[in-house]
Amino acid sequence: MDMSEGGLSTSFADLVLLAVSVDCGRRLLQNRFRANLRPGMDMCVRLQLIFSGRKSGKHIAATACAIGAITAGAGALRFAGIHGPVKIIHNVFTDVSTLSSCLVYGLAFHYPGDLTNVALWSTALAVLGSIGASLYIPFPIQEMLAGVTGTIGAGLIAHRCYTERKRSPRPVVYALAGLGLMMSCAGIGTRGSIGGILRIDLISYVVAGGMYLLTWAYTSMF
C-alpha cells in the first residue's frame, strides 16, 4: 500500500481508527461478563473476569480489533513523524490487516459459541499466515490473496446473516452495512483525494465505521 501522501491528517485518521478498535475490542470482551462487571471494580479483577473461563467467538472478533489497533497506533505515530521500528511495524500490520481482518471477523461470525480447536487453529492460521505473507510474498500476490481471504470472510458473514435474518433482523442489517464498508476499501485506493479527504485517510474512517457496525451487530446477535 502506498503511504507517500500521509501526514498529520493521516495520523488523526489513524487515531480515530485506534479509538474505535480499542472500544470495539473492549465491548466484545466485556459483553460476556457484563453481569459481573460492576462500577468501581478493581481493574485486575475486571481483567481476570474478561480473560478467564471459556473463550468464545467474541475473542476471535476481538483479535481483528487488536490487529486494527496495532496498525492504527503504529500509523498514528508514523505519520506524526516518528519512524524507525514504528515504520516497519506499520508496514507489516497494514498488510496483515488487509489480508486477515475480514477473514477473522468471518470466522467469528461462523464460530460464535465456545472456542473449539477448529476455530482456534483457523484463526491462528489466518493471522500467522498473513504475517508470513506480509514478510515473504510480493505485493501483487498479496493483493490477490487479500481478495481471496476477503471473499471467504464476506461469505462467512453473509451466511450467518442469512441464518439470523428472522431472529435478529436489525443486527443483520448492521452487519451487512459494516461488511459493505469493509469491502468498499478495495476500491478507494491510496493516491489522491476524494472531496478534499485523502484516500488513505478515508480508508481509516471507512474501516472504523465498518468495524463499529460489525461489532455492534455481533454483540447484538450473540
- Helices 199-221 and 8-31: crossing angle in degrees, nearest 10, is 10
Question: How do residues 101-138 score in pLDDT, each as one tens digit?
Answer: 999 999 999 999 887 889 989 999 999 999 999 999 99
**Predicted local confidence at residue 35, as pLDDT:** 43
Give the model's confidence band at 212: pLDDT under 50 very low, under 70 low, under 90 confident, else very high.
very high
**Predicted local confidence at residue 186, as pLDDT:** 81
User: Is the model more confident about 25 or about 190?
Assistant: 25
Count CB atoms within 10 A of the CB of residue 10: 21
pTM of the model: 0.85
d(CA 116, CA 124): 12
d(CA 102, CA 97): 8
The 3-state DSSP class for residue 84 equals coil
**Predicted local confidence at residue 201, as pLDDT:** 93
Question: How do residues 164-184 score in pLDDT, each as one tens digit?
Answer: 999 999 999 999 999 999 999
Task: Tell me the domain boundaries of the chain.
Answer: 8-27+56-221
